[in-house]
Structure 1
Amino acid sequence: MEGCFNKLKDIIARFDLQNKPQTIFHCDEIGIQRDAGIQKVLCKRGSRNPNKLVGSVTKAMYTVLMYCNAIGDFLPMFINYKGLHLYSTWCVGEPEKARYNCLQSGWIEAPQCLYWFINCFIPEILKLDGTKCDCRKNIEMFCLPAHTSHLVQPLDVGVYKAVKASWNGILRNYYNETGYKNVDKLVLPTLMKKISEYACLSRANTIGGFEGSGIYPLCKEKMTRKIEIAKIIEGEKIPVFPLPHPLQNQLEP
């Protein structure tokens, strides 16, 4: 992890980004599920087999790419559907300026990522103050270490937990209002638009994610400490403290 920190430090110094948080961006995808999660059911005392009808709770999900900078500017969402063809009816009532694509697997793969970068990311950052200085020539991509998204990726650290909680609330309201109709591609854009009305995408959450991950302000201690904690939890590095001899004798059968 120290090597990752040093590379990031070099990039920030080379492009003179120490005091330019508006030019430091993070993007990450999130899976939007149709299941609203476990809910409590109120029923009369003594009732047998209480239950509540819900919409389809299959494992199906939609993939959404969100991206923002270190001062909390969120740019339009990129929504990727599972399918061979994209239909205009799947893009109605969308979040502001959202972009869409589709792929048979439903995941965002290399072609979709390249399309997003050229047609979404670059045009949008040109509109932001302080990011217009030959950005096409000076963009540096930096991949954070694998399997550490919950520790060092700003959106995972500060935003996505709140997004998922807000989404569950939106989904429950939708089910209650519609009699538990399924969330299909015709409905998803309207529901995703509601996400922006919640505090989950606030500047405070976003700035906290960058700071908590140690990316901005750049902090080696925060970044490396989290990784070490993860190794201990995952069993890669477990400290062993031998018991004092008298106590060890007492524990022997």
Structure 2
Amino acid sequence: MLQNLKSLPIILDLRKILFESKFSSDINVNYFRGVYRSFEEARLSSPKTKPVGYDNTEAAGLYKERTRKIYSTDYPVLFWMDKFKLDIKKVFDFGGHIGIHYYSFSKILDFTNIENWTVCDVQSVVEEGRIYSEQKNAKDLNFVTDIQDLEDQDLFLASGSLQYLDWELHNKLSGLKKRPKILIINMLPLHNSLSTITLQSIGTSFCPYYIRNEDDFIQGLESIGYELLDLWSNEEKKCNIAFEKERSLNFYRGLVFHLR
């Protein structure tokens, strides 16, 4: 009965108005709303109360506490990095912010074999990361803003980042002369039947957000020579798109691929 009442047109309209107010103004939140045909359409729908994307001072200053802590969702990544540790000398950490995983993973993993750890992110985040790395004297940590610098890397690591891009990973990798041998992708929103572009509020800004079709994502990488070694669920991570139950997710995915 309660669900029926919530679905009544006048009640539903009121709920949407109330949600939009929270979406526009709340901080320290993780809200999703809307279904869009493109990232540009999602951007244009953003409230004017905050910037769009991570390329700003407020977003660049986030997540420093994560450099000091290992989260439960990190352990599958740690397992596979340890398993391939003799094969990994160069790490390309795509969307790695200020080097979150470089700092936190070094508390558990043996980094002896790693010669270089490169973080690729937007300009504001890269600038913050360089300042932080100087403070921490992290000499083997580098920062770039172009994914083309992925050329000649051993490991492509992407944890919670590919959803912020509207291009497909297999298309970028196919253009490289020398592809990374190992792909470890974690905290990725994948749906079992649909693909959706929505809009996320991270508190400091709004971000277009891409939920991909799981089969399409896997098949795209297999089509350019990668073999799927493992697939797991990040049960701690959910994506609830307001008023879009069918497109929402109860968990995210992690995957490991190896180049044949």
Higher percent of residues as strand: 2
**Same fold at TM > 0.5:** no
Higher percent of residues as helix: 1
Give the TM-score of the pair, scaled to structure 2: 0.24
Give the TM-score of the pair, scaled to structure 1: 0.25
Which has more radius of gyration?
1
